[in-house]
Chain A
């Protein structure tokens, strides 16, 4: 199986790992967003959704372990790539200008990625591992978003996530070798649209709760 190691552990293999795990996270974001939309339905709708989800039992655990594994792969591989890419240019340029290739997303991938990682840790502590003996998940979410610091942080990070996926989404297709004059403009358009949907979709929910929903 040494061929498999060589395959995965080359620069190109690691790029494929980043693309595969990253693309799966994009799909997860879609599912997560659909779940979050239940918050517009109010307390009962969201709590009901959460209950239904947890009735899946072991499936949820399997899914969570899958996400954790993919997360570890994405973060570790990304960190190695970041270090290697930094080391590939020991003397930096005195003047650096773009020829028009890079975007806000592509130029900041490691940094936005790091912010998202920090956010995910706090996000899990806030909601996933929250004490639910005296409060339903809706109450926990609602309390959190009525706190201005929580609200502002959450919205900021959603913009960061949008910037991260704006490059990540189309980049995954390019890495899989799916670049063709016919459909690449469509993929690039989709990537931008996806970033907007993620940013606005996730970002507007806390605003809605803070402004239009009582605690």
Chain B
């Protein structure tokens, strides 16, 4: 059964960083419910292009929910209303005929809008850089059991490593805090023997960088956990807190 729906879109349009933006209203007619959200935007953009108007700028890359490039706030929900999905994996079958959708970019001081729905998330790269390096022998594959890692720890580390760095946690946080992002990055390595020697330095430097980049402060509201497309949990923030206290009170790092 094929069904198509008509939608009203209120989309944030902004020429460039620092300029005043505004909402503009577009009609998206005969949208197939088999389309993804981004494909729906493609259809709208095609119409706009044909009419000689400026298409709506939005970020996207893999369109299969693993690259972390896409993302917009749809009716107040980062990546839209479905749990555990990125915007590109959100399908139009979750919407009904006649719906009005308000589409905004991530709102954060640390993520300035580049154009329309595209934000500059370089701050997340700066956070990763602040974390520094880990010492791993490269070259041919190491003997599998030379560094024992329990399946349990490997699984939990992988849960944290599932972070795709899309920034939805920051967009969802009423405080604009990046704690779930850092929590995931810290936990990812804190659970493994690789990266242990640099753990204290990593925790201190990443928190310092977060404070300098203009993110807010975490107050455990847990909206990040509810909106994360990879369903990363706040236990990772608790682990970050432990790593941070340990780094200051036990290690020589400062």
Binding site for B on A (CB under 8 A): 2-3, 6-7, 10-12, 14-16, 18, 81, 84-85, 87-102, 106-107, 109, 167, 170-171, 174-181, 184
CB contact under 8 A between A93 and B214, given known A87-B109, A177-B242: no
Mostly, the B contact residues are mixed
Residue A88 contacts which of B12, B110, B223 (CB distance < 8 angstroms)?
Answer: B110
State whether A102 and B223 are in contact (beta carbons under 8 Å apart), knowing that A88-B216, A95-B104, A107-B174 are contacts in the complex: yes
| Smallest CB separation, B213 vs chain A (Å) | 10
A12–B241 CB distance below 8 A: yes
Q: Is the CB of B215 within 8 A of A88?
A: yes
Whether A85 contacts B176 in the complex (CB less than 8 A), given A12-B207, A95-B76, A175-B241, comes out as yes
**Cβ-defined partner of A109 (8 Å) among B12, B21, B219, B222:** B219
Contact partner of A95 (CB less than 8 A), chosen from B75, B174, B222, is: B75
C-alpha gap A79/B77 in the complex (Å): 27
Subset of 19 A-B contacts with CB under 8 Å: A3-B248, A7-B249, A11-B217, A88-B216, A89-B109, A89-B216, A93-B104, A97-B75, A97-B77, A99-B78, A101-B225, A101-B227, A102-B221, A106-B219, A107-B174, A167-B220, A174-B237, A177-B245, A179-B234
The answer, yes or no, to whether B192 is at the interface (CB within 8 Å) is no
Q: Which residues of B contact A10 (CB under 8 A)?
A: 207-208, 211
Residues of B within 8 A of A95 (CB): 73, 75-76, 102, 104
- The interface size bin for chain B is 35 or more
Bound form: Cα–Cα A95–B248 in Å = 40
Q: Which B residues are CB-close (under 8 A) to A96?
A: 76
Minimum CB distance partner of B249 in chain A: A7
* A99: chain B residues within 8 A (beta carbon): 77-78, 83, 172, 223, 226-227
Most chain A CB inside 10 Å of its own CB: which residue of B73, B175, B210: B175
Other-chain residue from A84, A92, A181 in contact with B235 (beta carbon distance below 8 A): A181
Question: B107 to chain A: which residues have CB within 8 Å?
Answer: 89, 91-93
B221 adjacent to A94 (CB under 8 Å):
no
Q: Which of A7, A11, A85, A87 contacts B211 (CB 8 A)?
A: A11
Contacts of A101 in B (CB 8 A): 172, 221-227
Chain A residues positioned under 8 Å from B222 (CB to CB)? 101-102, 106
Complex: how many Å from CA A18 to CA B235?
A: 19
**CB-defined contacts of B235 to chain A, threshold 8 Å:** 179-181, 184
Q: Which residues of A contact B104 (CB under 8 A)?
A: 93-95
Most buried by B among A14, A81, A91, A178: A91
Judge whether B41 is part of the interface by a CB distance below 8 angstroms.
no
User: Chain B residues with Cβ under 8 A from A181's Cβ?
Assistant: 235
> Smallest CB–CB gap between B102 and chain A, Å?
5
Taking a contact as CB atoms under 8 Å apart, the answer to whether B221 and A81 are in contact is no
Question: Shortest beta-carbon distance, B88 to chain A, in Å?
Answer: 18
Closest 4 pairs between A and B when the two form their complex, measured CB to CB? A97-B76, A88-B216, A99-B226, A88-B176
Question: Is there an interface contact between B217 and A84, defined as CB atoms closer than 8 Å?
Answer: yes
Which of chain A's residues have a CB closer than 8 A to the CB of B12? 94
Is there contact, CB below 8 Å, between A93 and B73?
Answer: yes
The residue of chain A having its C-beta at the shortest distance from the C-beta of B182 within the complex is A12
Q: How far is the CA of A97 from the CA of B208 in the complex (A)?
A: 30
Write out the residue numbers on chain B whose beta carbons fall within 8 Å of the beta carbon of A179.
234-235, 237-238
Across the interface, do A177 and B238 meet the contact criterion of CB distance under 8 Å?
Answer: yes
B105 to chain A, nearest CB (A): 9
